[in-house]
Amino acid sequence: MTSAVKTMQTYFSAFGAALPTPTKFNRGRFALKRASGSEDEVYVALADSSNVMQNRRILTKTYADTVYVPLIQASAVSPYTQAPSIADGAVTASTSDTANYSVNVTMSFTLPTGTWAVYAWAAGLFSHSSANGIVRVHLQVGDDLGTALTSPCQAHPGRTTIAVANHATGQTGTITIALEYRPNASGTAYAGGGYVMAQAFRTA
């Protein structure tokens, strides 16, 4: 087995000097360009989608007094998570309202500085006043209601597990994540606890 190793070249410009024209022979070369009174700008020679060689700037933010850190890591570790919220399955709540949801399990999710995409998962224990009666659940994440699920459930006091998830973008600050339920069309829906957990990825 043979292999070839290409040495990466680095070009350092003088003040105000233009970058050298990239060719296929120096593809992958790094260039440091500096104008008077400015910090070094980092470029790399690469082929664009038309196979034309270009000098592409790598960083779009100056170093200032510290080493540049990508935005996703600027002030908080991403992904970010908290301990799950678990509700006691022996606690029973109920609602006969077929228009408005009631809360089964909730958690306060405090996001660090920035804008985040939040992925949340939850499962709860539910029943209905009628055998195979339909219970409707959704997982609200901040201002995002999520997609509702409906499931036939055991007659109370039996329990059926219903699991649901949600992905909410553009979330900031402290948000509420809530597993909510109601009877789908008639009767009474019962909830007996469950859990909520979430993980967030910084987007801005």
Read off the pLDDT band of 6 (50, 70, 90). Answer: very low
Query: Is residue 89 located within the same domain as residue 164?
Result: yes
pLDDT for position 65? 46
- Whether 75 is covered by a domain: the verdict is no
The mean pLDDT of the chain is 84
Measured CA to CA, the distance from residue 103 to residue 90 in angstroms comes to 15
Burial of 92 (0-12, 13-18, 19+ CB in 10 A): middle
Instruction: For residue 27, give the DSSP letter.
Output: T
Residue ranges making up the domain that contains 16: 10-68
| C-alpha–C-alpha distance, residues 128 and 184, integer Å | 10
Same-domain pairing of 26 and 91: no
From 19, 47, 68, the end of a domain falls on 68
Q: Report the Cα 4 to chain-centroid distance in Å.
A: 40
Could you tell me the pTM of the whole model?
0.64
Q: Which two tokens stand for residue 202?
A: 């910084």
Structural domain count of the chain: 2
Within-domain flag for 4: no
What b/e sequence results for 139-150 when a residue is b if at least 16 CB atoms lie within 10 Å of its CB, and e otherwise? bbbbebebeeee
- Is 183 inside any structural domain? yes
Strand runs labelled E in the chain? 10-12, 30-33, 41-47, 53-57, 80-81, 85-87, 93-95, 102-110, 116-128, 133-141, 149-153, 160-171, 174-183, 189-202
Q: Which residue, 125, 114, 167, is CA-closest to 144?
A: 167
Tokens representing residue 84 in the block = 């799950």
Question: In this structure, are 84 and 159 located in the same domain?
Answer: yes
Per-residue CA distances from 93 to 21, 114, 161 (Å) = 71, 36, 15
Q: Do 138 and 182 fall into the same domain?
A: yes
pLDDT of the residue at 14: 63
Query: Residue 29 has which token pair?
Result: 């070369």
**Over the stretch 73-115, which tens digit does the pLDDT of each residue have?**
444 577 999 999 999 877 789 999 999 999 999 999 999 999 9
**110 shares a domain with 43:** no
pLDDT digits (tens, 9 = 90+) for 35-76: 666 677 778 888 888 888 888 877 655 545 444 444 444 445
Q: What's the confidence (pLDDT) of residue 8? A: 47
DSSP letter string over 92-136?
-EEE--SSS-EEEEEEEEE--SS-EEEEEEEEEEEEESSTTEEEE
Percentage of the chain lying above the pLDDT 90 cut: 57
Is 87 domain-assigned?
A: yes
Q: What is the C-alpha separation between 196 and 155, in angstroms, rounded? A: 24
Q: 68, 98, 118 — which closes off a domain?
A: 68
Q: How far apart are CA 96 and CA 35, in angstroms?
A: 71
If one compares 12 and 160, the residue with the highest pLDDT of the two is 160
